[in-house]
Structure 1
Amino acid sequence: MTRGLRVMRDGVTALALLAFLWLIAAKLSDHAETVHSGQFRAADGDSLNLGKERMRLYGIDAPELSQTCERAGIAWTCGQQAKRTLQALVAPTDTQCSGTGRDRFDRLLVVCHAGGVDLNAEMVRRGMAVSYGAYGDEEAWAKAEKAGLWAGTFEMPRSVRDHTPRPDARGIMGLLGW
């Protein structure tokens, strides 16, 4: 066999092997979409419960439940309002949430729809959540319209979480009150 044919054969073999590996990797990362419908309960402004399944709305971040914001110099419970807004959005009987991935807390990452409306986008559009990797156009609209959180001042939900000590983070000394 001539050198040129051997190089061509080796190239085709390598290409076939790479294609085979790509197919295996694609199959391993192919998660079946999980779809839920039913009586959803808002745990907060970006998390839902349905039975024992806990879901996190993909691409958004809502104020923490205990978080307060300011509007016209007056504090308001924006975290509680975000939860009430989400609960009102998932109340219709045709609400469906679907997702394929999970977050670090094993919550299913979902996009929810009711009546043809993307509820994740609607939370951001109403100014009751901020964009967290998606829904940038909706956030820009909410800012321009001074909707919800954007009508005053607030701390980004992630910053609030990062500065709130968790009970398990303090260890045994925290339990003893030292």
Structure 2
Amino acid sequence: MLRVCSWFVLALGLAGAALAEDIRGTLRVVDGDTVDVGGIRIRLHGIDAPERDQPCTTLAGQNWGCGDWVTRQVRDRFEGRAARCVPLDHDRYGRVIARCSIGEADMGRVLVQEGLAYAYRRYSMDYDLDEKAAYVAERGIHGFVLQSPARYRLTRITGRHAPDPACRIKGNINAHGPRIYHLPGQAFYDRTGIRPEQGERWFCSEAQARASGWRPARR
């Protein structure tokens, strides 16, 4: 028993030491707040960016894919750059939560300052003032109407109810691969669930669905 306990304590110590080591490498952008560095999946500390399939609404009432836009903006700024990340914790998905720097710039702070992410105050107040300044200046996502990413994730869990009432078209991928969108009132609309983790998504218009590679359901 003593030997087992000693091994357990040693294992915890090694795990803590590994977490404390900086992660360095070329940065690859996954989405607005998630990156890969040195082959390790990292969730950026203290920020929350729109989900890739999350829509926004302009003040004129036009819907568009701001989640995709944010991901492209982050990729344009940071893809392929040398990064140094300081691990702080792990999340429930096994990702390392870390503060990442590109040169002398804190990546999370830059994203919040430019209006590409929110300060994730539930976990940190580090970027609170940065977000307030971006909000006043209406930078990036602060110039549009959208749910908080956390709320959006919560409302799409069942997959059957649109997180945004203005974006109710269901982009489904069937078992054989074709991408088909279903409009409210069609035969299979109510029974169709959207699974974002498998590439399915919500659309705000038929034009958006067609442009993204989906075809209309026949009935």
Q: Which runs of 5+ in 2 are unaligned?
A: 1-8, 160-190, 193-219
| 1:33 counterpart residue number | 20
Q: Which runs of 5+ in 1 are unaligned?
A: 1-23, 168-176
CA distance in 1, matches of 2:92, 2:67: 22
| CA displacement at 1:94 relative to structure 2 | 3.3
Q: How does 1:97-176 map to 2 (within 5 A)?
A: 97-132=85-120, 133=124, 134-165=126-157
Percentage identity across paired residues of the two chains = 26
| CA displacement at 1:95 relative to structure 2 | 2.3
Q: Deviations over 1:99-152 (max 9, x none)?
A: 131111111011111131111011111111111123101100110100111112
CA distance in 2, matches of 1:165, 1:64: 13
CA distance in 1, matches of 2:110, 2:146: 19
Q: How does 1:25-104 map to 2 (within 5 A)?
A: 31=17, 32-50=19-37, 52-73=39-60, 74-91=62-79, 93-104=81-92
CA distance in 1, matches of 2:49, 2:74: 10
Say whether the 8 Å CA contact 2:29–2:79 is kept in structure 1. no
Say whether the 8 Å CA contact 2:99–2:106 is kept in structure 1. yes
Work out the number of aligned pairs and report it: 145
Q: 1:67 to 1:93 in 2, by over 3 A?
A: closer
CA RMSD of aligned residues (A): 2.6
| 1:171 counterpart residue number | none
CA distance in 2, matches of 1:160, 1:36: 30
The code of the aligned residue for 1:155 comes to: Q
Larger Rg: 1
CA distance in 1, matches of 2:29, 2:100: 12
- Aligned partner of residue 99 in structure 1, secondary structure: strand
